[in-house]
Amino acid sequence: MKRFNLVILGGGSGAFAAAIKARELNKSVALIERDLLGGTCVNRGCVPSKNLLKAGEDFYYHRGPHFSGVHHGEGAIHFEEVMAQKRELVLRQRKSKYADVIPRLGITYVPGAGRFVSDREIEVNGEQIVGEKFIIATGARPTIPSIEGIREVDFLTSTTALKLKSVPKSMIILGGGFVGLEFAQMYAHFGARVILLEMKPRIIPEQEESISERLTQYLKEEGIEIITGAKVNRIDGHGKVKIITAEVNGQERTFEGEVLLVGVGITPNSGEIGLERAGVEITEKGYIKVDEEMRTSNENIYAVGDVASKIALETVAASQGSIAAENAFTGSHRTFDDLSVPIAVFTHPEVASVGLTEKRAEAMGIGCSCRGLEFKVVPKADLIHETNGYIKMVIEAESERVIGVHLLAPGAADIIHAAVMAVKFRHTIRDIRSTLFVFPTLSESIKLVAQSFTKEVASLSCCIE
């Protein structure tokens, strides 16, 4: 029987952040992982998907002329080579960011499926491990919806869609969130005919409506068929063809495709780890219940990341892991700030946001004021011929404090960080207007939208305050 100050279930970003923080506090750490080190992000999420998205963009957008006098050939996709370099990238990142960290920091790595046998013990590989404190960071898996016929056909998830050996001729995607949209554009860029079905009235419904509408338009212009308000009732398979029967605006419609990808959400990995024996409570949907300090119903057990949070991001898991470990051993009572979490969808143009939408601010009873700008007024967007985009800023009306920024733009995921700082540190539009931005940059859009509360931006010369 081995004893540790901290025992962690899971091996992704939340688990490693917790382990690193605990080692900084000179605590002994055991990290138990049943699958590959690195969790979702490096193995089957952020890293491989963004790599393939970029490969598809390079092929698709370089075929057409963007500047007079610059001509590219039709080009070609050697999909096997694209997937091979993706696999090499994943191996490299897993080794450098996770596997190599373990011996360097003196973490005890225990490969295997761990399960609580009491509120102080975990069993793994027939061995008991006793802990002073525990952190659960077991992540989540793709949700498989209860649709008639779905178990009788082959389908892809966000995991298996990253392992295809060839580009399908056609693909049907269920789900208009970030997973569905990224895979839709990725495979459309590789040459597949893509149909995307979303049950709600618009794609990425948690984002500003103005963002959703414009992204829908841009994706349709690239040939992606987007059907919203689609309730899928049945799935059939006839040879290599998948037939989806759905109710769309009160009418039954059928859609056919060679490949079906299900991207409707995630399910937390809270089963089969003995939570009931540890006195850890879960919600109806399987998320582990935690307080603001990431503590579960057992005061010695914490939970972080996708298994406990509905914000399924590596950055969130890592932040929560560090917070949980610090709280467990120092009593510092740190809490997680979910209002300044930046979120991105890596389509082209990208979607990025931080803070409150106008609708959410109003629902919270906050008196707000909003402004929006088309990206064609941003000088850098014009000079690089990338004017598809929009930015919206939400401020508290009385104080003029920035409480939300929402972007649709090339490189939006990089641009948004100036807005993150503004929201997190309670900056006002006056603070932003008086700040110098490099010219010409796409980040200047944040200053321009702040100026638009008091000025007609289209009538201004460059760089004025």
Output the domain CATH number for residue 420.
3.30.390.30
- CA atoms of 391 and 407, how far apart (whole Å): 5
Shared domain check, 106 and 208: no
Question: In 336-392, which ranges are continuous DSSP H helix?
Answer: 358-363, 379-383
Residue-number span of the structural domain to which 159 is assigned: 150-264
Shared domain check, 218 and 189: yes
Residue 221 has pLDDT above 90, yes or no: yes
CB-based contact 395:401 (threshold 8 Å): yes
- For 295-309, write each residue's pLDDT tens digit: 999 999 999 999 999
Shared domain check, 112 and 11: yes
**Helix orientation angle between 209-221 and 178-190, rounded to the nearest 10 degrees:** 20
- CA atoms of 227 and 200, how far apart (whole Å): 10
- CA atoms of 436 and 391, how far apart (whole Å): 19
pLDDT of residue 71: 73
With cut-offs at 50, 70 and 90, classify the pLDDT of residue 239.
confident
3-state helix, strand, coil in the chain (%, to 5): 35, 25, 40
From 264, 298, 313, the end of a domain falls on 264
Residue 319 or 463, more confident: 319
pLDDT of residue 246: 98
Q: Give percent of the chain with pLDDT exceeding 90.
A: 93
Length of the chain: 465
With cut-offs at 50, 70 and 90, classify the pLDDT of residue 351.
very high
- For 17-35, write each residue's pLDDT tens digit: 999 999 999 999 999 999 9
**Three-state DSSP state, 168:** coil
Shared domain check, 215 and 116: no
- CA atoms of 414 and 109, how far apart (whole Å): 34
Alpha carbon 216 to chain centroid, angstroms: 19
- Token couple for 408: 């649709």
> 29-33 and 2-9: which strand pairing?
parallel
pLDDT of residue 68: 77
442 class by beta-carbon count within 10 Å (0-12 exposed, 13-18 middle, 19+ buried): buried
Is residue 209, in this structure, part of any structural domain at all? yes
Shared domain check, 437 and 371: yes
Q: Give percent of the chain with pLDDT exceeding 70.
A: 99
Return the ∠ at Cα 14 (arms to 291 and 268), rounded to 5°: 70
pLDDT of residue 65: 58
- CA atoms of 448 and 177, how far apart (whole Å): 29
- Token couple for 410: 């090339």
Which residues does residue 259 pair with via DSSP β-bridges, in sequence order? 171
- For 70-93, write each residue's pLDDT tens digit: 777 777 899 999 999 999 999 999
- CA atoms of 142 and 38, how far apart (whole Å): 17
Element (H, E) at 236: strand 230-238
Is residue 166, in this structure, part of any structural domain at all? yes
457-464 mean pLDDT:
82
Shared domain check, 136 and 16: yes
Residues 6+ apart with CB under 8 A from 201: 228, 229
Shared domain check, 67 and 107: yes
141-163 mean pLDDT:
97
- For 44-64, write each residue's pLDDT tens digit: 999 999 999 999 999 998 866
Q: Which amino acid is at 325?
A: A
- For 108-141, write each residue's pLDDT tens digit: 999 999 999 999 999 999 999 999 999 999 999 9
The per-residue pLDDT of the chain, averaged, comes to: 96
Shared domain check, 61 and 88: yes
How many beta carbons lie within 10 A of that of residue 226, not counting itself? 22
pLDDT of residue 64: 62
Is residue 465, in this structure, part of any structural domain at all? no
Query: Is the alpha carbon torsion for 424, 417, 408, 266 positive or negative?
Result: negative
pLDDT of residue 76: 86
Shared domain check, 126 and 183: no
CATH code at position 191: 3.50.50.60
Is residue 424, in this structure, part of any structural domain at all? yes
Is residue 335, in this structure, part of any structural domain at all? no
Is residue 336, in this structure, part of any structural domain at all? no
Shared domain check, 137 and 9: yes
- CA atoms of 190 and 462, how far apart (whole Å): 39
With cut-offs at 50, 70 and 90, classify the pLDDT of residue 333.
very high
pLDDT of residue 67: 80
- CA atoms of 313 and 344, how far apart (whole Å): 10
Total of domains in the chain: 3
Shared domain check, 314 and 409: no
pLDDT of residue 183: 99
Rounding to the nearest 10 degrees, give the CA dihedral for residues 15, 18, 24, 30.
Answer: -50
From 246, 264, 282, the end of a domain falls on 264
How many beta carbons lie within 10 A of that of residue 307, not counting itself? 28
From 244, 264, 284, the end of a domain falls on 264
Query: 65: phi > 0 → left, psi -120 to 50 → alpha, else beta; which?
Result: beta
pTM: 0.96
Is residue 338, in this structure, part of any structural domain at all? no
Is residue 464, in this structure, part of any structural domain at all? no
Shared domain check, 127 and 165: no
- Token couple for 251: 């009418």
